[in-house]
Amino acid sequence: MNILSRLSSLLLALALLVGFFALIWLSVGQGLYNWRDTALSKREEMRSELQKLEGSLAALKRDHSQFGETGELTLIWAAKEAGAVTALIQSEISKLAKDHGVSLRAVTPAKESGLSLQEATGFRIEFEASLDQLTGFLQDIEYSSPALVVDRAVLRRLNKPGHKHPQPLVFAQIDLAAPIRLDNRESDK
């Protein structure tokens, strides 16, 4: 009996020891398993973010190389004389209006631009256009190169008898500013 009681206490101690280690394993092992899953999911998120950044970097490099091939983006209107620069800008405005079917009433130099551009010339343009034509015209002005900056705009709906266009007709008065540079380099020689 002595052997049987020793064997049963040994088995009980062994069962308690196995149970104790099982509890430790479950508490620590479960935490480690959850930590591993969290770390792996974060790793995948970071890998995905890295791929997005690498794609963006490749696109920027491609754009930069194309930008270098096409030359410097022209933002400033340049000519030798103020009259020449004014004529260039007015002809560009007329061309954009014609391309979109906008009916120009007037293109006049403006006295002062409300923008804080030191070397800029201003224009006030008045025109009639449908909403679609106005949208295209303004988008071309916004993305024009050299730059044309809308300083102020006043829009008014026109009610013309016999107007059959599905879009409303709009009268617009827009003040534009154009950054300019007078190139006197050749005259200095």
CB of 165 closer than 8 Å to CB of 68: no
Last residue of a domain, one of 55, 71, 87: 71
Least confident of 12-21, 45-54, 63-72, 87-96: 63-72
Average pLDDT over residues 11-24: 90
* Same-domain check for residues 83 and 164: yes
* Same-domain check for residues 142 and 159: yes
Q: What is the CATH number of the domain that holds 106?
A: 3.30.70.60
* Same-domain check for residues 160 and 111: yes
* Same-domain check for residues 112 and 167: yes
Dist. CA 8–CA 12, nearest whole Å: 6
* Same-domain check for residues 182 and 89: yes
pLDDT of residue 115: 55
* Same-domain check for residues 153 and 123: yes
* Same-domain check for residues 129 and 46: no
Dist. CA 130–CA 170, nearest whole Å: 6
Q: Is 31 helix (H, G, I), strand (E, B) or coil?
A: helix
Provide the β-strand partners of residue 76.
none
- Looking at every residue in the chain, the average pLDDT score rounds to 84
Work out the pLDDT band at 187, boundaries 50, 70, 90.
Answer: very low
Dist. CA 48–CA 44, nearest whole Å: 6
Dist. CA 139–CA 96, nearest whole Å: 10
In this structure, what token pair is assigned to residue 71?
């030359």
* Same-domain check for residues 40 and 102: no
The enclosing H or E element of 75 equals none
pLDDT of residue 129: 92
Exposed / middle / buried, residue 110 (Cβ in 10 Å: 0-12, 13-18, 19+): middle
* Same-domain check for residues 27 and 107: no
Least confident of 41-45, 102-106, 183-187: 183-187
pTM over 0.85: no
* Same-domain check for residues 124 and 165: yes
Range of the domain at 120: 77-187
* Same-domain check for residues 177 and 136: yes
Q: How many domains does the chain have?
A: 2
In this structure, what token pair is assigned to residue 111?
């006295």
Last residue of a domain, one of 35, 52, 71: 71
Last residue of a domain, one of 14, 47, 71: 71
pLDDT, tens digit, 9 for 90 and up, residues 94-151: 999 999 999 999 998 886 655 555 688 889 999 999 999 999 999 999 888 888 989 8
pLDDT of residue 188: 41
